[in-house]
Amino acid sequence: MALHLRHLADGQWEQIETKVYKTEGAGTGFKDIVRRQLLGPETSGTSFELRYFEIAAGGYSSLEIHAHTHTVIIARGRGTAILGDRAVLVGANDVCHIGPGEAHQFLADREAALGFYCLVHKDRDRPRAPTDEELERLRGIPELARVLRV
Amino acid sequence: MALHLRHLADGQWEQIETKVYKTEGAGTGFKDIVRRQLLGPETSGTSFELRYFEIAAGGYSSLEIHAHTHTVIIARGRGTAILGDRAVLVGANDVCHIGPGEAHQFLADREAALGFYCLVHKDRDRPRAPTDEELERLRGIPELARVLRV
């Protein structure tokens, strides 16, 4: 059965609830971020889940690591993405792919929210926070040290 | 290895080529549509492919049927989507999911291009055109008869 999720405005869809950001796994701290579940096995029968996350201005997601991959499409706003050992500025329609074991974090700009789609397989391992050693290494990379929040 | 595909403007990305719309399978006619391959097994190692399609104002994709599912996120513009036995108006950030065997077609408005992301599994069956009987049935549905183009 085909589905059509109508976007209303500003990262809200008809009949889609706003949920808390994290329900599984662990990571470092996060700030001002919500989750909306758009597609998943229970609605579309797909093997993946399509979620939308929105980070308010000045907020950020957890810095986290896991074996499953993330594919992200930025929907709106502006921010910074930590992708492994790099930090990149991101805006609408940028596409990011995070491979297994790569630390990552999304941070909204101070003046703009950051909304993005995130695609994951339905069967996936739980995110974890970086170890102290991993965090020390990441903080040793100047472009990451400037932006990462834990 | 993490990837970052930077969006330039208007459905164009750094280092992403524009390709012809169809390289496999068959469907009915199409008009003024291009394809850009964003992610796939050869670049991201994923089991799915993320493609971007852009239909110029007045153009349309093939009306087609296949067993694999399509997930579509509208990136920009306005148009109409035929999703199985329904026709719906679509705009930016609408999400469509097309189940196995459901006929579908995307049509840009006369005055606006329609750009969308389409997610498919890397292993998939070839699209086919509807049979004469299927087409006759679809044409018998008034809301489809008004919009479908073959």
Residue A23's pLDDT band, with cuts at 50, 70 and 90, is: low
Radius of gyration of chain A (CA): 15
The stretches in chain B having pLDDT less than 70 are 23-26
Evaluate whether B104 touches B57 at the Cβ level (below 8 Å).
no
Q: Of A38, A45, A69, which is closest to B95 when you measure between CB atoms?
A: A38
Q: What is the C-alpha to C-alpha distance for residues A92 and A111, in angstroms, rounded to an integer?
A: 15
H helices of A26-70, where? 41-44
Residue whose token pair is 């524009």: B18
Query: What are the pLDDT digits (tens) for A93-145?
Result: 999 999 999 999 999 999 999 999 999 999 999 999 999 999 999 999 999 99
Which residue of chain A comes nearest to B10, CA vs CA? A93
Of B4, B94, B95, the CB nearest to A39: B95
SS3 A136: helix
Question: If DSSP codes are grouped into helix, strand and coil, which group holds residue B104?
Answer: strand
Q: At B143, give phi and psi (nearest 5°).
A: -70, -25
CB contact under 8 A, B7 and A46: no
Q: Establish if B39 touches chain A: CB-CB under 8 angstroms.
A: yes
User: What is the model's pLDDT at position A137?
Assistant: 97
Asked if A7 lies within 8 A of B48 by C-beta distance, the reply is no
Which pLDDT does position B24 carry in this prediction?
65
Task: Considering only residues A147 and A28, tell me which one the structure prediction assigns the higher pLDDT.
Answer: A147
Residues of chain B with C-beta less than 8 angstroms from the C-beta of A5? 94-96
**Residue A109 CB neighbour total at 10 angstroms:** 17
Could you confirm whether B118 is annotated as catalytic?
yes
Q: Which long-range contacts (CB under 8 A, 24 or more apart) does B30-35 make?
A: B30/B59, B30/B60, B30/B61, B30/B62, B31/B55, B31/B58, B31/B59, B31/B60, B31/B149, B32/B56, B32/B57, B32/B58, B32/B59, B32/B60, B32/B108, B33/B59, B33/B60, B33/B61
pLDDT over threshold 70, residue A58: yes
Q: How many percent of chain B have pLDDT more than 70?
A: 97
Is B26 in CB contact (< 8 Å) with chain A?
no
Of the residues A6, A85, A93, the best mutation for testing chain B's interface (the one with the most B CB atoms within 10 Å of its CB) is: A93
Amino acid at site A105: Q
CA distance B43 to B2: 10
Determine contact: B45 vs chain A, CB below 8 A.
Answer: yes
> What is the CA angle A84-A89-A63, rounded to 5?
40
pTM: 0.95
Interchain contact, A46 vs B71, CB within 8 Å: yes
